Structure 1
Amino acid sequence: MAIKSKPRAGKKPPTKSSTEMIFGPEVYGHGYTGVPNIMVRAQARLGLAPVQFNILVQLLSYYYDPAKPPFPTKRELRNRMKIADSTLKKHLKELETAGLIDRVQRVTAEGDYGSNVYRLDGLIRKLRQLAPEFDQEREDRVERKRIVETPKGRRSVR
C-alpha cells in the first residue's frame, strides 16, 4: 500500500500538465514527444507525405537535448513504423533533398560505421519561417472573435 505524503504547509502540490491529465500518469510516465503544432498544421505546405511526417515524429522522439541530435538506427525506425528498408531509405532521401534533415554518418571508436546522426536544422528553420504567418492567423482569429462577441453598439473602430 502506497503512503501519500501530505504537502508541506505553504507549498502547493505540483500541478499536472494537461498532457498528463489527458493521458494519465501511467502513459505520461513513459515520456512524450514535442511536436510543434505548426508542423502538424503545415504538413501539406511542407510537402510531407504521411510516412515522412511519421519519420520526423520518430526522430523527434529521440531528440532529448538540443546539443545532441538524434541518432537512431534505421532498424529501430523501420521496426517502430513497420515499413520496409527501401521505403525508409526513399523517404529519408526525400527529406534530405527537401532540406528538412541532414544525415551524418557516425563512426565508432573502432572505426566501424554507426547509425546516422539526423540533424533537423532544416526542419526547424522552415517551421520558424512559417511562425509569423501562424502568428498573424492567430491574431486575425482573436480579432474576429472579439468583433463577433461584442454587441454592435459597443464596437469601437480600430
Structure 2
Amino acid sequence: MAQPVTAKADVDKLRTNEKKWTRALIATGWSAFPNIIIEKQQALGLDALDMNIIIHLVQYWWLPENLPHPSVETIAKAIGVTPRTIQKRITALEAHGLLGREERRHTPNGSMTNKYRFDGLIDAARPFALEKAAEMKRAAQERSDRLRRKKPKLVVDNEK
C-alpha cells in the first residue's frame, strides 16, 4: 500500500536531518523552528536568553492544541540560570506580548505548570516573514528573467 505524499515528505525530511545531524542526535528528538524568528530576533526585541527560553519551550510543543508546559525549574536547569531569572524573562516576554502564559494554579490536583502560547511571537514575526517571502519571490523571478535573457535566440534561415 502506498504511503500518503505528506508522510513520504516527512520521512524524507527526517532522513535529510539525519544526514545533517546524525541518526543518534535526531533519535533523541528535534524541533521545527521558523528561521525568520532567528534572523529577526533583534527586531523582535529578543535577547539571547529570551531566544534560549523560547527554543526550550518549543521543544515541548509537539501538537498545535497541546501547549508546552515545562516547569520553570526545568527550563532554568537546562539553560543554567536561576528559576527566578526564567520567571522574570517570561514575565517580560508576556508584557511585550510575545509569549502568552496560562496559569494553572487552581486545579483539583493543586498547582500545575503553566502553559505557554506563542500567538504574540507568531503575530510579531508574520510581517517579517511576509516581507522575506516577497523578497524571495522577487529574487526567484529576477533569476528566471536573467536566465531567459541569456538564452541565445536560434535563427533558422529556411530560404537557403
Counterparts of 1:122 and 1:85, CA distance in 2? 23
Equivalent residue for 1:88, pick from 80, 86, 89: 86
Counterparts of 2:147 and 2:86, CA distance in 1? 49
Secondary structure (helix, strand or coil) at the match of 2:116 reads strand
Give runs of aligned pairs for residues 78-157 of structure 1, distance below 5 A.
78-107=76-105, 108-110=107-109, 112-146=110-144
AA paired with 2:96? Answer: A
Q: Does 1:28 find its partner at 2:50?
A: no
Unaligned stretches of 5+ residues in structure 1: 1-9
Secondary structure (helix, strand or coil) at the match of 2:104 reads strand
Q: What RMSD, in angstroms, separates the aligned Cα atoms of the two structures? A: 2.5
**TM-score (ref. length: structure 2):** 0.77
Counterparts of 2:149 and 2:52, CA distance in 1? 45
Unaligned stretches of 5+ residues in structure 2: 153-160
Residue 50 of structure 1: aligned partner: 48
**How far is the alpha carbon of 1:115 from its aligned partner?**
1.0
AA paired with 1:109? Answer: P
Contact 1:69 1:120 (C-alpha < 8 Å) held by counterparts? no
| Identical counterparts, % of pairs | 26
AA paired with 2:136? Answer: R
**How far is the alpha carbon of 1:39 from its aligned partner?**
0.9
AA paired with 2:121? Answer: L
Q: Which runs of 4+ in 1 moved over 3 A?
A: 13-16, 143-154
Relative to its length, the structure with more helix (as a share) is 2
Residue 5 of structure 1: aligned partner: none
Residue 67 of structure 1: aligned partner: 65
Secondary structure (helix, strand or coil) at the match of 1:17 reads helix
Counterparts of 1:17 and 1:124, CA distance in 2? 28
Secondary structure (helix, strand or coil) at the match of 1:66 reads coil
AA paired with 1:104? Answer: E
- TM-superposition CA deviations, 1:91-112 (whole Å, max 9, x none): 11111011111111114423x2
